[in-house]
Structure 1
Amino acid sequence: MRVLVAGAGVGGLTTAIALRAKGFDVEVLEAAPGPRTEGGGLGLAANATKVLAALGLDVVGSGVGRVCTSFRLRTQDGRLMRDLPIRAISAELGSPVVNVRRGDLLALLRDSLGDTPVRYGAAVADHRVDRSGVSVALADGGVRTADVLVGADGIRSAVRARLVGEHPVREHGYVCWIATTAFAHPRLPEGGAAHYWGRGQRFGLIDIGGGHAYWWGTKNVPLPQARRWTGGKLGVQAAFARWAAEVREVIAATPEADILAVPAQDRPFLATWGAGPVTLVGDAAHPMLTSLSQGAGSTVEDAHALAHHLAAGGDPAHALRRYEADRRDRTRGLVAASLRLSRVEQLANPLATRLRDLVIRHAPARVVRDQNAAPMRYDLPG
């Protein structure tokens, strides 16, 4: 069976790896002119590292990223609110949480593809289905044919638009700044991660190994500002001017060109992900906010499940519908939970934020552990 995968991000490359492991003939089509190297970092939760290990990818052994060994919630001025039991959760689930630079993870995935072709500058413009399978028209005039097409081309997926039409994204009224930079600080231990919560603002500071840190910041702003941030690095520094010293210092240490600003966006959950020999994975199917750190995790789960169902045999279209049914409830819950948590995190009302922080400090330990472990619980199919 020949499969075309649109998109060479985490979802597309992992899908290609999973399909190749099952013996499928795979080609990846990527709109960008070359491999992606920019972007910040991401957290691979225990479910993600579990699936990648099942695909033969030892993220820890490869030297990519850093195993997360401490996770603290702090106030904006750095006072500790809660030490989350990340070691105990990882031990219970049998897989580590690993924080990585996105570009390093993509390089590892590309290397793991072996001789699987990845075509850059190959933007999908349209696709058509007939009795022999699916044909994909590229923006440069080229055509590719296959038995199956998988859209792994992100929140503005061209494959999704062809399936269900063009629809605007859902916007949430805050901007996200993300970056990685060389950084060391006594408040950032090896394997450490810390989230700082303020009023309508948050900040994350995470060790990704090799003397580098991944950081992100958020701030409630009008939608036009979120869509197109024009404040530059000075605007980011102004937003966090009175925050903890390590927050101010990591922003100052980051070259302005390395700070990426993106709006907080997702989509209402899509009940139908495919038709005939076409389906979606990852952000193309179920984009979610970053609050649960499950964008990457849910995507690699999709990739593994898709390969599992296609390899089970039978008509490809029926296999794709089985895959979609298998993934629907899990991903719907993650999208909804990410939205709920984001609303709590971005609270700006002084009374509401005080109550939120009191709950963080005094919630029973078992409740905190269960809430943080729940999104990472995942059983491999088959």
Structure 2
Amino acid sequence: MVGAGIGGLTLAVALRKVGVDAEIYERASELRAAGSGLSVMTNALTALDSLGIDLGLDKRGQAVTSFTMKTARGRLIKEEPLVKVADEIGVPCVCLSRTDLQHALLDALGDTPITLGATATGVETDDSGAVVHFADGTSARGDVVVGADGFNSVVRRQFTGPDEPAEDSGYISWLGIVPFTHRRLPPGAVAHYWGKGSGFGLIDIGHGRFYWWGTKNMPEQRSHNWPGGKDEVLRAYSGWAEEVREVIQATPEEDIIGVPSRDRAFLESWGEGPVTLLGDAAHPMLTCIGQGAAMAMEDAVVLARTLRGATDLSGALRTYEDLRRERTRMMVVASREVSDRWHMESRIGRLRRNTALRLARHADLMAVQRAALVFPDPDAA
């Protein structure tokens, strides 16, 4: 497979579990995760458990115990029932750093070979499988090739062409991880704060650390070329809740990452013949609902189970794609809708948004969370 991100590593672990040999080719010269955090949602952990995979993430991170939505100044809007639905299912949502998740996956890989510094340039197929070509002139052949090479996937370009546009969402995301505690943030807290064209999140990732993200509407030209600077981030959240200002202040400037927010048009066809896509290479999505990593992990489990014992490998890949298409489409659409809702600048629009959330029926919110957090196990259908 091409790519050793979360999706690629999870697929390698899942394939090992079902007795399928795999090789990973990664363009980076070393495996080093970005300094940010993420959530491995209940649905992803349930998917892994269906193959008997336990990464021990509860020891590496922190299970979510509360999920609150607040105004910029910290006034409660609503407590989301994510924890209640996770308790109902019997599997938590766990938040941790990307580095900790990467280490957990690498520990589970065993002797699966990983070739670093292998920059893929293209894929060719023939009657016996597929060949991946690399920038150094080498190549690798496999019965199946999986593009798990992220947002700028080389394998995806085989199907979309080199000029497929990215869709900018109109804001920047600032990210950081720092040792932090606050009286308003109990263990396992996830708190989202929403202001005028901007938002902020505080997430307990365990071991005395918090992961935070901040978003602010910004022209594409600037968000894609943000020069850095802690002072700008502090100014963006002047007057916000004290815990928001304090966590930014506590974060060293060099540990604050700024990335543009973007996705792509949903891709209906993920592959041809012995080639398919997985994770962000197949269905990049905005981060607003925290399901990006979970979707890649679900993909990996479903693909491994579909390939297990398969004799028609190309047919198995099309089956995998059919099983995953509508589930991932739902998440991509939901992430865009939430993004638009939380980044509006109109005062009236924001008032209506907050009021609608305050008045939302508990049963309706539970239904929304169930739709996301229940893994649609193909074998149970």
- Considering the TM-score relative to the shorter chain, is it more than 0.5? yes
1:320 maps to what in 2?
317
Of the candidates 61, 70, 73, which is equivalent to residue 69 of structure 2? 73
Contact preservation (8 Å) 2:44, 2:375: no
Equivalent-residue separation in structure 2 for 1:80 and 1:24 (angstroms): 49
1:198 maps to what in 2?
195
Of the candidates 172, 175, 181, which is equivalent to residue 175 of structure 1? 172
Contact preservation (8 Å) 1:312, 1:319: no
- Residue 363 of structure 1: how far off its partner (Å): 1.2
Equivalent-residue separation in structure 2 for 1:230 and 1:263 (angstroms): 12
Instruction: Mark the CA change 1:361 to 1:60 in structure 2 (over 3 Å): closer, same or farther.
Output: farther
2:154 maps to what in 1?
158
CA deviations 1:217-264 (Å, max 9, x no partner) are 000011111212124211111101111110001011111111111111
| TM-score of the two chains, using structure 1 as the length reference | 0.96
> Quick check: 1:380 aligned with 2:377?
yes
- Residue 297 of structure 1: how far off its partner (Å): 1.1
Bigger Cα displacement from structure 2, 11-20 vs 47-56: 47-56
> Quick check: 1:334 aligned with 2:337?
no
- Residue 59 of structure 1: how far off its partner (Å): 4.3
> Quick check: 1:94 aligned with 2:93?
no
The correspondence of residues 201-216 of structure 1 with structure 2, limited to 5 A, is 201-216=198-213
1:220 maps to what in 2?
217
Q: SS in structure 2 opposite 1:292? A: coil
User: Which amino acid in 2 is paired with 1:213?
Assistant: F
User: Which amino acid in 1 is paired with 2:280?
Assistant: D
Percent identity, please: 46
User: Which amino acid in 1 is paired with 2:284?
Assistant: P
- Residue 55 of structure 1: how far off its partner (Å): 3.6
Equivalent-residue separation in structure 2 for 1:267 and 1:256 (angstroms): 30
Equivalent-residue separation in structure 1 for 2:302 and 2:369 (angstroms): 23
Contact preservation (8 Å) 2:323, 2:378: no
- Residue 58 of structure 1: how far off its partner (Å): 2.8
Contact preservation (8 Å) 1:60, 1:67: no
Q: Which runs of 5+ in 2 are unaligned?
A: none
Contact preservation (8 Å) 2:2, 2:26: yes
Contact preservation (8 Å) 1:38, 1:103: yes
| TM-score of the two chains, using structure 2 as the length reference | 0.96
Equivalent-residue separation in structure 1 for 2:259 and 2:374 (angstroms): 29
Equivalent-residue separation in structure 1 for 2:376 and 2:228 (angstroms): 44
- Residue 148 of structure 1: how far off its partner (Å): 0.5
1:46 maps to what in 2?
42
Equivalent-residue separation in structure 2 for 1:8 and 1:333 (angstroms): 25
Instruction: Mark the CA change 1:344 to 1:336 in structure 2 (over 3 Å): closer, same or farther.
Output: same
Instruction: Mark the CA change 1:60 to 1:146 in structure 2 (over 3 Å): closer, same or farther.
Output: closer
Instruction: Mark the CA change 1:61 to 1:346 in structure 2 (over 3 Å): closer, same or farther.
Output: closer
Contact preservation (8 Å) 1:180, 1:254: yes
Of the candidates 169, 181, 185, which is equivalent to residue 182 of structure 2? 185
CA deviations 1:70-105 (Å, max 9, x no partner) are 111111011111112233111122211111101100
Equivalent-residue separation in structure 1 for 2:225 and 2:46 (angstroms): 37
Q: SS in structure 2 opposite 1:289? A: coil
Contact preservation (8 Å) 2:55, 2:105: no
CA deviations 1:271-303 (Å, max 9, x no partner) are 110011000000000001111211111111110
Of the candidates 11, 16, 19, which is equivalent to residue 15 of structure 1? 11
- Residue 373 of structure 1: how far off its partner (Å): 2.7
Equivalent-residue separation in structure 2 for 1:95 and 1:337 (angstroms): 22
1:241 maps to what in 2?
238
Bigger Cα displacement from structure 2, 32-41 vs 243-252: 32-41
Bigger Cα displacement from structure 2, 316-325 vs 53-62: 53-62
Instruction: Mark the CA change 1:61 to 1:319 in structure 2 (over 3 Å): closer, same or farther.
Output: closer
1:34 maps to what in 2?
30
Instruction: Mark the CA change 1:371 to 1:190 in structure 2 (over 3 Å): closer, same or farther.
Output: same
Equivalent-residue separation in structure 1 for 2:83 and 2:277 (angstroms): 34
- Residue 119 of structure 1: how far off its partner (Å): 1.1
